Amino acid sequence: MTAPSLFMMVGEASGDRLGAEVMKGLAARNAACDCWGVGGDAMQSLGFGSVMAMDDFTVLGVGEAIKAIPRLNRLANTLIDRIMETRPDAILTIDNKGFSMRFARRLKKRMARAGWHAPILHLVAPTVWAWGGWRARGVAKSVDHLMCLFPFEEPYFTRHGVEVTVVGHPSAERPRPGRDEARGTLGIDPDRPLLALLPGSRSREVATLLPDMLRAFSILKAELPSLQAVLPMASNVASGVTAMVGRITGEGSGHDQGLHLRPQDDLDVVLAASDAGMICSGTVTLEAALAGLPGAVYYRPDWLARKLGNIFVERSNVVLANAIMGEQIYPLYLNDEFSPQSMADAALPLLTRPGTRIT
């Protein structure tokens, strides 16, 4: 008897980590599956068969997404052709909401024309609580079942007839190291202040945020000569990050200035070890909040997203950690609201009180 076939698709590092958790969960339940589709390093390390590169599906911002439509359409058609040929038992898309929803709608139509259907599930609810509940109607047309990470998301979708299961966020269940243990793992002096630079896992996020973060670190270093910084890098942006660090710091790795580059897999340890964070808006804000890391959130959307955001976005809900807690855990700074100097000014008081955590 052959194992069930599960098509999975992710488009970014956070989705890759969630996909790996799904695969681990299936294995723990002895639910052997042939998992294939589009996945990253974490999923492939568990035996996932990736037929396309995850990075090909990563776009950031409305303007970039519009430019990428012809390329993404070609990729979607190729994947759908493959699905129609192999007919997996189920389809699971993870996050990457803009592309995932369009892909699911197109796949549903192809399956209907062929007189065949496999259930389409999606993990990680679109952020309708930030952009407006009207977007939930599109989810109802796209997927058969939605898995939400947080209970507060469920009503936005059930009122539009979407079948929902709240599965929880795996980050909330993971054991976390203490500060000293994390410092030991990273090989970082426990008595020196440590700043986490978290510019995101997408190339555009890194390009628009990391230069200011690095310059802010240099400003802080002049105030606090003992300061160190740690920068976890997703594999898809690691080469670009390393090159940028070399250009801006004037040396190959930044290590002589106290900057430590780490793989994204070390994120939990980085968050536990650090005294403050400069954080890109996104899922990492929740990870940081769960670790108790103080800091501030920064983001520079593209020009079209800025225009639409001014009309549709509820700013108080943009930061995931703030939306979940119903209060401002992290201040949010957008576009021209921040500079290297203002970022340094926000971090300095946190770094002079090492060991302080948010609760």
CA distance 247 to 240: 11
pLDDT value for 308: 45
pLDDT single digits (tens) 110-142: 999 999 999 999 999 988 776 656 678 889 899
pLDDT single digits (tens) 314-328: 555 578 888 887 788
Checking if the pLDDT of 60 tops 70, the result is no
Averaged over 257-276, what is the pLDDT?
93
* Strands, E assignment, the chain: 5-9, 34-39, 49-53, 90-94, 120-123, 145-148, 164-166, 194-198, 228-233, 259-263, 276-280, 295-299, 332-334
Averaged over 21-28, what is the pLDDT?
93
* Strands, E assignment, 184-255: 194-198, 228-233
Checking if the pLDDT of 310 tops 70, the result is no
Checking if the pLDDT of 78 tops 80, the result is yes
Least confident of 15-29, 218-232, 244-258, 319-333: 244-258
pLDDT value for 126: 87
Output the average pLDDT for the chain. Answer: 87
pLDDT value for 307: 46
Domains of the chain and any CATH numbers: 5-172 (3.40.50.2000), 179-351 (3.40.50.2000)
Tokens 């948010």 locate to 358
Checking if the pLDDT of 309 tops 50, the result is no
Higher per-residue confidence, 152 vs 311: 152
pLDDT value for 312: 39
Percent of the chain with pLDDT over 70: 88
Averaged over 175-179, what is the pLDDT?
88
Least confident of 2-16, 72-86, 93-107, 242-256: 242-256
pLDDT value for 193: 95
Q: Could you tell me if 320 and 286 are in contact, meaning their C-beta atoms sit under 8 angstroms apart?
A: yes
Least confident of 30-34, 75-79, 80-84: 30-34
Checking if the pLDDT of 303 tops 60, the result is no
Least confident of 72-86, 219-233, 252-266, 308-322: 308-322
pLDDT value for 319: 82
Least confident of 84-88, 221-225, 264-268, 282-286: 282-286
Q: What is the pTM of this model?
A: 0.79
What are the tokens at 232? Answer: 């976890």
Classify 58 in phi/psi space as left (phi over 0), alpha (psi -120 to 50) or beta.
beta
pLDDT single digits (tens) 229-253: 999 998 888 888 999 998 887 754 5
Ranked by mean pLDDT, the top range of 14-18, 81-85, 243-247 is 81-85
pLDDT value for 167: 94
pLDDT value for 66: 64
Residues 6+ positions from 310 with CB-CB distance below 8 Å? none
Q: pLDDT class for 106, splitting at 50, 70, 90?
A: very high
The single-letter DSSP state of residue 170 is G
Higher per-residue confidence, 68 vs 27: 27
